[in-house]
Amino acid sequence: MRVDRTTHVREAASRDGDQRHREIPSVPRPLDHVPLQPRPDLALLHQAIMATAGVLLRNTDVAATLDRGGDVDVLVSDLAEAKEALFHVLGPPRVVYRRSYVWSLHYDWGHIDLFPALDWRGAAYLDKHTVLGRAVRQPSLPCRVSDLDEAVCCWLTSVLWGGFFKERYRPLIERLAREDRAALAEVLQVAFGPRWGRLLASAAASGRPELAAEQAVRLRRAVRRRALRREPLTTIRGWVHFWWREASLRLRPPLPWLAVLGPDGSGKTSVIDALAVQWPADLGRVVRHHWRPHHLDQRRRVEGPVVDPHGLPPRGVAASVVKLGWIAADWWIGTAAVIANQRARKGLVVFDRHYLDLLVDPRRYRYGAPAWLAAALARVIPAPDLLIVLDAPVEVLHSRKKEVPAGEAERQRTRYRALAHSRPGGVVLDASRSTEDVAAQIVQLLLHDVARRSRR
């Protein structure tokens, strides 16, 4: 796909705020999707896992797990050393998601999760050193946790963190309860106390381990109380670390967010549809918004195409100023309350239009106040990491939509291009090409940004 030759993306050269320019790489061919690369040789994967000095937590058949699209879970003693070991054997991943309880390393062929502990928000329900100590050694293969620890981990992780029961682990849990109910009860009593330990072991032995999910809130309280009694300082430190990492993810998310702008007929909606299909599913879901977060007025959100963008007269100056303040508040509050959380939860946030659109086409938004006021406010509105402007000749735009006259479409083209050239992360793409080609180019730009963030 062709990218405007004068277009560049400004990226932070360092943390002190210096800027430099980088050229946008061209895509030699359209991409219908971003396929996963073939996974490395199984022996190399085993070597990488053994280099972490960790143990496989669950789904210990590495090849089968990756082939069905699952992730490899490894309990490690030291996160940083384990990550460096994987980098050394497998190379750097495409992206690293860092949470307090897991680091997820995403490669083209799948991802590996490194667990520093088995806890819920800092409260341990299985002692890491005990689990590592009774791990099963396998000749020429990575160590794996004991069947007992695997059953407890598979059972309780989803219950504590998500409040649900994973049905596929039922046979393992029930088998352990039948074969060694006393040992299972002992481990559960350490985590939750004698009463809950007996109840959970009884539920598993009677073929009803799913009942634990119904008591998720009480089990969280129980595991926190027990952890505070055993190791109060470690538990409090883990709780603080959990919330610190969650805040860090919201301040510095692993994925960029982008806005797609352009005149009517440039294909914004179609390109975003294609982007949602092409974006690698293992990197997160695509979350769409239109123009602003709409956090303050969700019930009034309007869906569907606009057939007459300039049909209504502009508001008066006073009404426009009030409306502008409302829009700014929606951006600030919505970004903090909604967008930041979506990005922290592996969401690729995509805006179809942005506040900056008002600077190009104020009539569409019935803006009747001074242009300088809207431009001044734009400086404090959250800006996307990547600003995509779709551009095409007026003839192409009018062949798709005729909502605005040709002269107005040409004026908007000029303003949109100038906007992209003046903004950090601005890119002009040729929208006369197919939507799949345009989406493929955006995917490559995003993956380039993701790789840069992972190197931080």
C-alpha distances in Å from residue 289, one per residue of 9, 305, 416: 23, 14, 20
Round to whole Å and give the CA distance between 184 and 204.
9
CB-count burial class (<10 Å; 0-12, 13-18, 19+) for 367 = buried
Question: If you search the block for the tokens 């300082």, which residue do you land on?
Answer: 233
Where are the extended beta strands (E) located within 68-169?
72-75, 95-98, 103-107, 110-115, 118-120, 123-126, 136-138, 141-144
- What b/e sequence results for 182-212 when a residue is b if at least 16 CB atoms lie within 10 Å of its CB, and e otherwise? eebbebbbbbbbeebbebbbebbbeeebbeb
Alpha helices in 252-338 (DSSP H): 268-278, 317-334
147-153: list long-range contacts, CB under 8 Å, 24+ apart.
147/172, 147/176, 148/176, 148/180, 148/183, 148/184, 148/187, 149/187, 150/57, 150/58, 150/60, 151/175, 151/176, 151/184, 152/125, 152/126, 152/184, 152/187, 152/188, 152/191, 153/57, 153/58, 153/118, 153/126
Ordered domains of the chain (ranges, CATH): 9-19+254-454 (3.40.50.300), 42-249 (no CATH)
The answer to whether 104 and 113 are in contact (CB under 8 A) is yes
- pLDDT of the residue at 456: 62
CA dist 132 and 75 (Å) reads 8
From 233, 367, 375, select the one nearest 310 (Cα to Cα): 367
Pick from 81, 114, 87: nearest CA to 99: 114
Do 367 and 374 form a contact (C-beta atoms < 8 A)? yes
What burial letters (b/e) apply to 348-362, b meaning 16+ CB within 10 Å?
bbbbbbbbbbbbbbb
Q: Which residues pair with 233 in a beta bridge?
A: none
The whole-number pLDDT of residue 402 equals 85
Predicted confidence at residue 211, as pLDDT, reads: 96
Written as six digits, the tokens of 312 are: 């209504």
State both tokens at 346: 């592996």
Residue 284 in 3-state DSSP? Answer: coil
User: Torsion-angle region of residue 37: left (phi > 0), alpha (psi -120 to 50) or beta?
Assistant: beta
**pLDDT number for residue 15:** 30
Segment 323-364, tens digit of pLDDT: 999 999 999 999 999 999 999 988 999 999 999 999 999 999
Provide the pLDDT for residue 455: 67
- Bridge partners of 259, per DSSP, are 351, 387
Q: What is the pTM of this model?
A: 0.80
pLDDT tens-digit profile, the chain (456 residues) = 334 433 333 333 333 333 322 333 333 333 333 444 567 888 999 999 999 999 999 888 888 888 888 889 999 999 999 999 999 999 988 888 899 999 999 888 888 999 999 999 999 999 999 999 999 998 889 999 999 999 999 999 999 999 999 999 999 999 999 999 999 999 999 999 999 999 999 999 999 999 999 999 999 999 999 999 999 999 999 999 999 999 999 998 889 999 999 999 999 999 999 999 999 888 889 999 999 999 988 765 555 566 778 889 999 999 999 999 999 999 999 999 999 999 998 899 999 999 999 999 999 999 999 999 999 999 999 999 999 999 999 999 989 888 889 999 999 999 999 999 999 999 999 999 999 999 999 999 999 888 887 766
